[in-house]
Structures are given as C-alpha cells and as structure tokens.
Amino acid sequence: MAEYQLGIIGAGNMAEAIVRGALSSRFIAPEAIVASDPAEARRELFEKEFGVACVTDNTIPARCPRVMLAIKPGVIDKVLDEIANVIMPDATIISIVASVHCKCISEKLGGKGRIIRVMPNMPLLAGAGMSVLSKCPGATDDDLNWTDALFSACGLTAQVNEEMLDAVTAISGCGPAYFFYLIEAMIEAGVAEGLDKDLVLKLAIQTCLGSAEMLKKTNESPETLRAKISTKGGITEAATRLMDENNVHQHLVTAVRRAAQRSRELAR
C-alpha cells in the first residue's frame, strides 16, 4: 500500500479530530490516508465525510511509512501482536495511547519503527486542542517535526521528555474535566440564585473563554489578573476568602498531582 502515507489504527473520535484538522489545513490529502476500525459506523464516517479509505484489517494501515496508534490501552497488546510482522523497520509510529511507554511499544514490535508519543486532549474535537509530543529513543527530528505539524492542524503543540508525560496528562489531558467540573458548580450556584440554567451556562462559558483570552493576550500571571478583579472587602474577595478558608487551592493542587500519580501507576 505504498500510495498511503499515513495509516491510522482506530477511527474513534480523537482520530476523527486529527484527520479533520489535517484535511482542513491541507496538510495531507484524503487519498494519502488509510484507517482501520471494527465499527462499521466509524468506517462509514471516514469514507463518506472525509473520503478516507477505512478497513477492518489493521495490517493495511500498519504497512504505511507513518502509522498512528489511536486505540484504547486495553487492546494495545492485541493490536501490536497483530501488526508486528508487517510494520516497516523505518516506519514512524505515532502513539496517542495513554500510559503506554515507548519501551513497551518498541518491545512488542520487535524494535521496529521510530516512535513518537503524543498526549492530545479532548478540545482537539473542537479544533482547539493541546497536544504534547515526546520523541522516543531512535526517533528522528524529522519524525518529531512531521508529527508536530500534523497535530498543529487542530490546536497547539509542545514537546517534553517522555518522563514528563504523566504530569502533562494531569494538566492538559485531564484539564478539560476540571474545567467542566467548575462549570457544573457555577451552574448549580446560579440556578440556586434564581437564574435560568441556559443563561448561567452562557455566562460561565463566555466568562471562561474571555478569561483564557486575557491570560493569553496580556501575558500577566493568573495571580495578577485575579488581584485586579478582587476589591478589598468586596464581592470577589468574599468568594475567594471562603475558598482559601476551605483550602480549595491546596485541594486542587493535590487533586492534579494525584492524577499525575495515577498516570504513573497505570503506565507500562
């Protein structure tokens, strides 16, 4: 299958977001991609919406010069065993499989392939993702740069050493869940104060979007911006003082670090 440049094993939501971004930016043409997935509905989506060939046989995308593993950690061993004999020795292997280390993938593939691990997050689905890349031993700068360009098509990217990916997972991988958790609380409080639920959601979303833009554009620290909103003895200070009295800040720090620790516990 020499005509295909990128093979994707697993046509789930994250793979869909990556393909959508890559095609929209014209980084790669649809006829240069082949994907595999056991679900007929996912195969139909890739074929009809994107014009991307999608098959049931994982060994077809595995023969490409670049292969993306976009599968669940629970099936990684089965898939790697299935494709090990057909992977090109010099293929670029891009893994977005959480908690599965380069060493594990390399061993299962018999040392074949040059591996780049990527930790993307859910906002990729909205074209506003954060993807963090790690170059594994044996991978080249060209492998890293090509992968970086692919993920840049659907958000921002950064690069770290592999040992830092657990911390990255706790921040940007889990981060959207923390955000949604905060929004849930804001909605509950707003409704309790008599506001319409849809209005509270609109207020919360735009407030969070605007606050993120301020952080991005002003280059001021969160502490500085928070201080600008907080008048001594005022409304905002009343809320933040209550949170401080209940150690909310420290609880959040502890929770994020627990996520990082859990990522290390699950790693293999």
| Distance separating alpha carbons of residues 78 and 55, to the nearest angstrom | 17
Phi, psi dihedrals of residue 224, rounded to the nearest 5°:
-65, -45
Asked whether residue 23 falls in the same domain as residue 97, the answer is yes
Closest C-alpha to 38, from 92, 82, 93, 84:
82
Residue 59: inside a domain, yes or no?
yes
Report the CATH number at residue 43.
3.40.50.720
**CA atoms of 127 and 121, how far apart (whole Å):** 11
Is residue 23 included in any domain, yes or no? yes
Query: Which range of residues forms the domain containing residue 92?
Result: 6-162
pLDDT at residue 268, rounded to an integer: 86
Number of domains, the chain: 2
CATH number, position 241: 1.10.3730.10
pLDDT at 9: 98
Supply the pLDDT for residue 1: 44
Which pLDDT belongs to residue 2? Answer: 45
pLDDT computed for residue 220 by the predictor: 96
| Per-residue pLDDT, 264 | 94
Q: Is residue 1 part of a domain?
A: no
pLDDT, one tens digit per residue, over 55-86 is 999 999 999 999 999 999 999 999 999 999 99
Residues 122, 22 share a domain: yes
pLDDT under 50 in the chain at which residues? 1-2
